[in-house]
Chain A
Amino acid sequence: MSRIATTFAELAARGRKALIPFITAGDPSPEMTLPLLRALVAGGADVIELGVPFSDPMADGPTIQRASERALARGMSLRGVLEIVSQFRAEGGLTPIVLMGYANPVEAMGVDRFVVAAGAAGVDGVLIVDYPPEECLEFAAKLRAAALDPVFLLAPTSTDQRIADVAKAGSGYIYYVSLKGVTGAGHLDLDEVARRIPMIRSRVGMPVGVGFGIRDAESARQVAQVADAVVIGSRIIEEIENAPVEAVTDRVTAFLGTIRRALDGQGD
């Protein structure tokens, strides 16, 4: 069982929902990423989605675009992201890490080299935003062969066929994009989420996390009523953007703590 699957199983046994924060590696600087990973763990993260910055983040809204630009301006690279994950593991960090990014940096490194390097670094899962299942069956198989979980997106508009494709190609969990649009965008349709998630979970046979549009404890609590995990990204990046450097990690831990308590209140 992968570290991600184990995490979800343990949470389920305790009647808890998973909290999955997202940050972009290298934002606000490469040196801050390791302390931020610790801050996320301290704030109650069950799984961490670590963004690999890309020059053309087509599926992201302005907040994560800015994070990506800051990271690249400070020299962050895919290789650098893997090094940070290694350091996190070396100091005993156990929280599962899912790399989230775009296809081109992975292809530039070479898919085979990437899979080996990610496994060696201690990565647990990989979500490539612009790799829909039909374009990456081979890549997904290579990840699974290296005991890494290929994580896929599903959307409100996904057809039954897409859900079946993703169920076959993916493992670990499904990332359900709760609204049309880009990351950090407007309105979360909770009724829609409540309607779709049970159906998707029953078809994919793995936990379903919901993200895009979750901004506070209340929306997280409501989503957690139907989902297995809550993914929260842009809102954390805003904390990072708005805090003075010396206060960044404390702010992130404190913010994530509010979400954690909302989710755990859910289980009681």
Chain B
Amino acid sequence: MQMAESGYHYPDARGHFGPYGGVFVAETLIPALDELRAAYEASRNDPDFLAEFEYELKHYVGRPSPIYHARRWSDRLGGAQILLKREDLNHTGAHKVNNCIGQAMLARRMGKPRVIAETGAGQHGVATATVAARYGMECVVYMGSEDVQRQAANVYRMKLLGAQVVPVESGSRTLKDALNEAMRDWVTNVHSTFYIIGTVAGPHPYPMLVRDFQSIIGRECLTQMPELMGRQPDYVIACVGGGSNAMGIFYPYLDIPEVRLVGVEAAGEGIETGHHAASLSAGRPGVLHGNRTYLLQNEDGQIVDTHSISAGLDYPGVGPEHAWLKDSRRAEYVGVTDGEALQAFHDLCRLEGIIPALESSHALAYAARLAPTLPRDQLLLVNLSGRGDKDMHTVAARSGIQF
């Protein structure tokens, strides 16, 4: 991707963002990562590759996604103007598909007929299964057995799309264990298999290439904001689990210091309760899933169980570039509780006729907290990273409703 920003040059050649990132994997995976790095280096500046990526994003995904000025909600909040980058309007209903197309194109170039993925709530699994169907690839999705139970509709979706869904019974039986299992599959079947990681985490080059594929989000905003509002936003706000939608919208803004970047983590039932998934706010640096980053861990360095109402944010780590942006203070990271996210979810439904994903509702909730403290001419650009159809049963259950 020709998107090297002028002043910001991360990661370095070995995948480090300051002290974070890197390649922390067993020797058996090193050649696979070398091969991937070489393939990506050869593709990222290849005009044919970029043209195909652009074509797919336009005709298959439906890009560019619009920016929508949420006037009624902004008026109600009585302060800054809130603008929504509508990733929820993409094919498959979220930003995830941008990255899946990029990685599936790489897989084809590398001659790998089989793709695998990990998934928590199922969104990345559905996006991967979608793209695999589109390209005629075999697809296996690893999903914690707890999540398979909770997300039956997405499991069925993946099967409709021709994917095999493998329930993972180890560890806490959630996203992190699905990721472990996908890595184990990859190391065993590396000659035939491409591992499509769903977020800006994992060993180098994944955090970089997922960011690059997702940065279409922010690049569009750079063009759209002046067209719509006459200038760039004052704040860019996005939710952070692994952090791919946030990196996608932040990255093109990194070299515009006037634009404040805010990542919103899941504070669950409150940071002080211990039931949350706010790695940057409450974690310590460590090594997991191939990179060094902030992790939620106990004193002995064991990874702890996390909680969020939003399955997509329910992860004990975070992409290493966010760790670096936090330490270098280019971005700031805040927490939003389950309750605040739900309030924003309902407000957006009622005031704007948009049902947001619970993940994105965290970013919306922070915008709702911030807007009233700012003058009316301030602009908050929020990444509405996905739609909320998948969350119907979660939200209904909170209101005591069963389907």
Residues of A within 8 A of B (CB): 54-59, 61-62, 65, 69, 72, 77-79, 102-109, 129-132, 134-135, 152-155, 157-159, 162, 177, 180-182, 185
Contacts and interface: CB of A to CB of B under 8 A. Distances in A.
A130 B295 contact: no
Contacts of B188: 180-182, 185
B interface SS class: mixed
Given A54-B302, A177-B28, 20 more contacts: A54-B301, A56-B288, A58-B180, A58-B184, A59-B26, A72-B302, A102-B287, A103-B286, A103-B287, A105-B302, A107-B285, A107-B286, A108-B284, A108-B300, A129-B26, A130-B24, A130-B290, A132-B27, A158-B27, A182-B184
Contacts of B28: 59, 153, 155, 157, 177, 180-181
B184 A154 contact: no
A19 B203 CA distance: 33
29 contacts: A54-B301, A56-B288, A56-B289, A56-B303, A58-B26, A62-B170, A69-B171, A78-B300, A102-B287, A104-B287, A107-B285, A107-B286, A108-B286, A108-B297, A108-B299, A130-B287, A130-B290, A131-B24, A132-B25, A135-B23, A152-B27, A155-B30, A157-B190, A158-B27, A159-B31, A177-B26, A180-B190, A181-B188, A185-B188
B22 interface: yes
B63 interface: no
B369 interface: no
A30 B400 CA distance: 45
A109 B301 CA distance: 7
B27 A162 contact: yes
B176 interface: yes
A220 to B, nearest CB: 21
Q: Which of B26, B187, B188 is packed against the most chain A CB atoms within 10 Å?
A: B26
Interface string B71-105: 00000000000000000000000000000000000
A135 B320 CA distance: 15
A107 B301 contact: yes
B268 to A, nearest CB: 19
A106 B14 CA distance: 22
Contact of A55 (B14, B34, B184, B303): B303
Interface in B182-231: 183-184, 187-188, 190
A72 B171 CA distance: 11
Interface of B: 14, 22-28, 30-31, 34, 170-171, 176-177, 180, 183-184, 187-188, 190, 284-290, 295, 297, 299-303
A184 to B, nearest CB: 11
A158 B31 contact: yes
B253 to A, nearest CB: 30
Contact of B30 (A58, A72, A158): A158
B31 A104 contact: no
A61 B184 contact: yes
A153 B30 CA distance: 11
Given A107-B286, A108-B297, A55 B171 contact: yes
Nearest to A65: B170
B27 A177 contact: yes
Given A104-B288, A158-B31, A77 B24 contact: no
A153 B27 contact: yes
A134 B27 contact: no
A157 B27 CA distance: 9
Contacts of A185: 188
A76 B31 CA distance: 33
Contacts of A152: 27
B300 A79 contact: yes
Q: Which of B183, B187, B285, B300 is packed against the most chain A CB atoms within 10 Å?
A: B300
A69 B22 contact: no
B288 to A, nearest CB: 6
For the complex of A and B, the 9 pairs showing the least CB-CB separation, nearest first, are A108-B301, A105-B301, A181-B188, A103-B287, A59-B26, A153-B27, A157-B31, A77-B300, A55-B302
Contacts of B303: 55-56, 104
Q: Which of B27, B287, B289, B301 is packed against the most chain A CB atoms within 10 Å?
A: B27
Nearest to A130: B24
A155 B170 CA distance: 26
Nearest to B304: A55
Q: Which of A55, A134, A135, A182 is packed against the most chain B CB atoms within 10 Å?
A: A55
B180 A56 contact: yes
Contacts of A78: 300-301
Contacts of B290: 58, 130
A108 B288 CA distance: 12
Contacts of B285: 107
A181 B180 contact: no
Nearest to A186: B188
A55 B30 CA distance: 22
Contacts of B180: 56-58
Given A105-B301, A181-B188, A132 B30 contact: yes
Q: Which of A56, A152, A162, A181 is packed against the most chain B CB atoms within 10 Å?
A: A56
Contacts of A154: 27
Contacts of B177: 56
A182 B180 CA distance: 11
A54 B284 CA distance: 17
Contact of A58 (B14, B34, B183, B190): B183
A132 B302 CA distance: 20
B129 to A, nearest CB: 23
Nearest to B177: A56
A56 B289 CA distance: 8
A104 B183 contact: no
